[in-house]
Amino acid sequence: MSVLLITSLFAAALAFHNNISRYLFSISRDGLIWKELCKTHPTNGTPHNASHVHSVIMLMLLAGMGSAGLDPMVHIFAIGSAVATLCI
């Protein structure tokens, strides 16, 4: 049962990451944030710069919450889900 939970959480995290990367790409393409984020990978056509920026932000957030003694799964996922729901 725990294998199913872990794989579903991984799939959800991957879907969130892809979605946020594409949002950053779109916002950058519209000129609202740093223009480097709207460049796509020459071979795959994916917004790899936006994906890297999102990964770095999330790693810093995880490290910060971990050093503060907070549970990243409870706090980041809950807050991130609430913000994502309000943005939709």
pLDDT digits (tens, 9 = 90+) for 38-63: 899 999 989 999 999 999 988 888 88
In a domain, 52, yes or no: yes
Condensed to tens digits (0 to 9), the pLDDT of residues 25-42 reads: 999 999 998 898 889 999
With a pLDDT cut of 90, the percent of the chain lying above it is 25
Cα angle: 61, vertex 66, 71; to 5 degrees: 100
Q: What total of structural domains would you count in the chain?
A: 1
In a domain, 60, yes or no: yes
Residue 46 CA, distance from chain mean position: 15
The pTM of the full predicted model, rounded to 2 decimals, is: 0.74
What's the confidence (pLDDT) of residue 52?
93
Please determine, for residue 79, whether its predicted confidence score (pLDDT) is greater than 90: no
What average pLDDT does the segment 3-14 reach? 88
In a domain, 9, yes or no: no
